[in-house]
Amino acid sequence: MLKGEIEPMTEIALQAYLSIAEWPTEQAVSTMIANQQEAAQAVARVAGSLAHAADSAAQRLGRAGRLIYAGAGTSGRIGVQDGVELGPTYGWPKSRLTFLMAGGEAAFMQSVEGAEDRHEAGVAEAEALGLTAADVVIGLAASGSTPYTIGVIEAARRAGALTIGLANKPPAPLIEAAEIGILIETGAEVIAGSTRMKAGTAQKIALNALSTAIMIRLGLVYEGRMVAMQISNRKLLGRARTMIMELTACSASQADAALEASGQDIRAAILLIKGWRLEQARADLDQWAGNLAAVIKARQN
C-alpha cells in the first residue's frame, strides 16, 4: 500500500482472527461459515439495486443484445461461473455471451502477473467488441479499483452499452464509472485480504440473483420452471418430461412424443400439446422472443 492510502476493509487483519492458525479446526471452520453468512446479508441490503439493474438489462437485451462479464482474478472467474450456466439453464445463445478476463483465457486457471493493472488493455478489449446500446456489461471487482475492469466499463459506457459495476468496498471508482453501480459492503475477511471468501460469496449471490432476474424478465422462466433449458443428458430429458406433464396435465408418453416432434424444444412441445401446429408454435415463439407466457397470453386474447 502506498504512503497516504487508506487500508481497505477487505485487507484489514481483525484482532479476533489473528490466532486462527492456533484454533481447533472445527472452531476455524465454524467461524468461516458464520463470516460467509454475512455475505448474504450484505447482498440483501442491495436487493433493490440489483432489481433495478436486472430490469434495465432486460430492457436492453431484447432480441440482439449481448451480455458481457468483465473482471480480474477471483472476480473474473466468478463472472465466468455465472455466465456459462445461462446457456444450459435458459438457452442463452453463446453468440450473445462474452467474457473479458484480465490476462485472457490463461487467467481462468492461474494468476497472470500484472494483468489486472492494465487499464488500457481493458479499454482495448471492450472497444474490440464493437459494443452498442443493446449490450450489457457487468464489471466485477472486490476492491472496486481494478484498473482493467474500470477500463472495460469506461469504454463500454462510452459506446452506449448499459454498464453495471459490483464492488465490495468504498471508495470504489468502478461504482462511479458504471451507469449502475452497486456497492456490496462485506467488510473484513477472516483471512485478511482473501476476498475469494466473503466478498467472493457476495458476488456469486448477487450474480445468481441478477442474471436469473434478467432471464425471468426476458420471459425465459414459465411458472417457476426453466422452460428454455437445453436438454443435454438423460437427467435433463427426465426433467423436461416432468415439466411438460406438470404444465399441461399430459401423460409421459404425450410429453415424450411432443419433445420428439419439437426437436427437444420444451416450449414448442408445450405449445404442441396445447393445440399449436409445430410451424405456428415456432413462429409464435420467434415473434415473442421465446417468451412462452407471452405466446400463450396472445392466443388467449
Is 179 one of the catalytic residues? no
Quick count: other Cβ atoms within 10 Å of Cβ 130? Answer: 9
Residue entry with cell 472497444: 127
Which of the 8 DSSP states describes residue 222?
Answer: B
**Assigned C-alpha cell, 169:** 468496498
Longest alpha-carbon distance in the chain: 72
How far is residue 44 from each of residues 47, 121, 192, 234, measured CA to CA in Å? Answer: 5, 33, 23, 36
Helix (H/G/I), strand (E/B), else coil: 83: helix
How far is residue 158 from each of residues 133, 139, 155, 284, measured CA to CA in Å? Answer: 10, 15, 5, 36
Is 246 one of the catalytic residues? no
Task: Return contacts of 245-249, CB within 8 angstroms, 24+ apart.
Answer: 247/222, 247/223, 248/273, 248/274
Q: For residue 61, which of 89, 95, 84 has the smallest C-alpha distance?
A: 95
- Of 11, 38, 85, 185, which is the active-site residue? 85
Q: For residue 166, which of 175, 176, 158 has the smallest C-alpha distance?
A: 175
- Of 5, 22, 105, 116, which is the active-site residue? 116
Which residues are marked as active site? 85, 116
